[in-house]
Structure 1
Amino acid sequence: MIEEVFLISTQLEATNVHVGLNKGAVWSLSAAHLMNDLMTVGIVPALLPLYKESFHLSYTETGLIVLFSYFASSIMQPIFGYLTDRKPLVWLLPLGVFLSNLGLALTGVAPSFAWLLFFITLSGLGSGAFHPEASRGTHLAAGKAKGFAQAIFQVGGNAGQALGPLMLPLFLLHTGTQGLVWFTLMAIFAFFITWRLLPWYRSRIEQEQRKKRQIEGRNRTSAVILLVLVVILRSWCQIGVAGFLPFFYTHHQIPLSRAELYTFLFLGAGAVATFIGGTLSDRIGKKRLMVASMVLSIPFALIFPRVNGSLAAVTLLAFGFTVLSSFAVTVVYAQMLLPRNIGLASGLMIGFGVGAGGIGATFLGWMADQFGVPVIFNLIVILPVLASLISLWLPNDRELDLRT
């Protein structure tokens, strides 16, 4: 798998697809994305068993934690994206990632469930402010390599999501939720590396504003709605596995540390697939890769709850690789569909995906309370089937104005 990543990177370097690419900015934004998503999308689902035990919660209340985190982020991302398309606010880049990290760190000293939800919401709001500006920065740093740059940016986020479950067996199972306060140091570091980008980012924004009137192409709202539906269904798959797989395996007498390792395999494979999918999409097309991603994930969604041991690990690797390989592609594709609203496009894709995950977590938590955790994994297979059918109705890349 690593060899495939290296081969694709080498092939791309040999072409002119990297013309205008600012690698330093893209990798810095990717690192900030890793820290942001580690503290929100990654570690929050992994922490649910600890939160549930510390505050004596039901499954439904446990799902509310993800809902408050993800929903706050999902609401704010399109709003911030729309507002900053009109007037960019570059300072949201460091402030947003700082708050997303700090809010999660403060949950370690939350005195009650209400305060826990407050700090979780603060973290979600910070993430909502960070993502549109970071995605816009990646777009501006990409040059002609839109898929490749977005893949680097998104693989940072997916790596953060994958590393989240590992924080429990490596650290938090020994310290408890109180150990989360140490992540305040990560908040400071994330602020520093994004603050350093502001002079370059402000300059590129000014250049883009001068060229804005020359942008050609029209927004395709109906296609964006279909794309949002695909992202929502994919997000439900992701949160269903990341949030409830530990409960599923502990129900079968598997230690929590091993259950979190299985979750890491699923999300880690998705992080690798995000990079490969983004780079391949520059060559084979966004729609083609999205359809393949959803269709190929169906058999693994069906198999993984029914196998054990090493076979379960391999199946989860394959499921994560296939279903999450379109992660970067959907953001670039949305920017193609909304060429006049780049920030809004990014906010919709990432924000609605995150928000849908929160709603899905609450619904799945209710299902677990009513019918048991195993039922959830019998329903997940339906989601990529629906996503596959919807993605077939999206316009082909050649129908879009690629000059945008």
Structure 2
Amino acid sequence: MSNVAATAKSLQNSTGTSYKILIIIGLCHLLNDSLQAIIPAMFPILKKSMGLTYTQLGIIGFTLNMVSSVLQPAVGMATDKKPMPYALPFGLTSSMLGVFGLAFAQSFELIVISVIFIGLGSAVFHPEGSRVAYMAAGTRRGLAQSIYQVGGNSGQAMAPLITALVLVPLGQRGAAWFTIVAALAVGLLTYIAFWYAAKLRMNKSLIKKKSKISNVNQKGLSKSVKIALLLVLFLIFARSWYVSGMTNYYTLYTIENYSFSISQAQVFLFVFLVSGAVGTFFGGPLADRFGKKTVIFLSMIISAPLTILVPFAPPAAAICLLALSGFILMSSFSVTVVYAQELVPGKIGTMAGLTVGLAFGMGAVGSMAIGYLADLIGITHTMILTGFLPLLGIITLLLPSDQKINEWNA
């Protein structure tokens, strides 16, 4: 094993799996992503109360996605060089200020500024949160990343509930209640930051050794690793585009084709998102046992027939297909993060930023593309075409095996 990889492995395996830390960071991920979920959930409220146009709503959504996603790889690269434990509570403090501003903003410009604060907090949290999960993993990297990521997916799945239970009855000011959620996250992350800092002090000699080795061996990534990383990102983009299409447009499809109310349509979306969160949890342990490449491949290929059938199914069958496809497709969510981190050892934050942050940003681009397509050919035909995206998972066959990656790092 190379010196860099050996040092990174020693740092990660210096203690056993810390389930307490994993559960806390997973809960913080849930709280952070539920704060992000407030923004799209508020769109109908803001449109009605402030008379915002669809273009303005699109700018708000685009601002959140770009700030929170594009900055993630940059934060990851910076913290790979110099870990910053206390950035976690400071980041969520930024989100708390953004939520407060969102609740009381009286103009479009103030809403955008508030969204930037929320996005900045999220951009800091995700790569550092993934690093905490990595450090607490011990030898169970897949399980650790699953616990961490299931929190985020559960937070995103709360958007329909936030809309129905909080924002519809309370309006824009109802978002102020989520400052309590943010304050709770800040408190928990302060505890995490002390653990993180203590962990770094305990491994100070290993970190110094790793830093010196990294400065001496600046060989860069091999061609094979670069190709594999591009393939992983392509697979993530395909999955993100499908999930984004379902999240943003499937409710419109059900309203048009099933004559559902907005509330009924939200139930279908909620089932898909919650099933995906459950699948995220089980994917990691399965990858620890059967291999990461295997889980990534099967999650996309097995889900493809289900996603293709969804637009053609009657409501009762559709909700079952949504539950199954969400569970299977999202089982590879955390696995791709771990795969990328092992593909490029020593770059934990950077890989987390790329695989989660950049993918989230590409989901936003995909959402815009799918919306444009829906304007051209209609929502029904668009959802039919979107269902074929998981078939791109066949590209997983071109990825190097887990054993091959271990050989590269040897």
Taking structure 1 as the reference length, what is the TM-score of the superposition? 0.88
Match of 1:349 in 2: 355
Match of 1:160 in 2: 155
Match of 1:125 in 2: 120
- Distance across 2 between alignment mates of 1:201 and 1:24: 13
User: For the structure 1 residues 383 and 18, does the alpha-carbon distance in structure 2 shift closer, same or farther, using more than 3 Å as the test?
Assistant: farther
Determine which of 27, 30, 33 is the counterpart of 1:31: 27
Does structure 2 retain, via aligned residues, the 8 Å contact 1:66–1:362?
no
Q: Does 2:241 correspond to 1:246?
A: no
Match of 2:233 in 1: 228
RMSD: 2.4
Q: Does 2:148 correspond to 1:146?
A: no
Determine which of 306, 310, 328 is the counterpart of 1:304: 310
Does structure 2 retain, via aligned residues, the 8 Å contact 1:106–1:180?
no
User: For the structure 1 residues 145 and 134, does the alpha-carbon distance in structure 2 shift closer, same or farther, using more than 3 Å as the test?
Assistant: same
User: Quick one: percent identity of the two aligned structures?
Assistant: 36
Q: Which amino acid aligns with 1:36?
A: N
Q: Which amino acid aligns with 2:70?
A: I
- Distance across 1 between alignment mates of 2:196 and 2:386: 41
SS at the partner of 1:108? helix
Q: Does 2:316 correspond to 1:320?
A: no
The count of residues paired between Structure 1 and Structure 2 equals 386
Does structure 1 retain, via aligned residues, the 8 Å contact 2:35–2:182?
no
Match of 1:22 in 2: 18
Q: Deviations over 1:249-293 (max 9, x none)?
A: 333431112211111100100111011111110000001000001
Shift of residue 325 of structure 1?
Answer: 0.9
Q: Which amino acid aligns with 1:361?
A: S
Q: Does 2:177 correspond to 1:171?
A: no
SS at the partner of 1:197? helix
Match of 1:392 in 2: 397
Shift of residue 170 of structure 1?
Answer: 1.9
Q: Does 2:346 correspond to 1:340?
A: yes
Q: Does 2:199 correspond to 1:204?
A: yes
Match of 2:281 in 1: 275
- Distance across 1 between alignment mates of 2:203 and 2:237: 31
Q: Does 2:336 correspond to 1:330?
A: yes
Shift of residue 76 of structure 1?
Answer: 0.9
Q: Which amino acid aligns with 2:403?
A: R
Match of 2:10 in 1: none
- Distance across 2 between alignment mates of 1:74 and 1:228: 14
Does structure 1 retain, via aligned residues, the 8 Å contact 2:72–2:124?
yes
SS at the partner of 1:326? helix
- Distance across 1 between alignment mates of 2:370 and 2:54: 9
Unaligned runs of 5+ in 1: 1-16
- Distance across 2 between alignment mates of 1:347 and 1:299: 30
- Distance across 2 between alignment mates of 1:238 and 1:45: 15
User: For the structure 1 residues 379 and 43, does the alpha-carbon distance in structure 2 shift closer, same or farther, using more than 3 Å as the test?
Assistant: farther
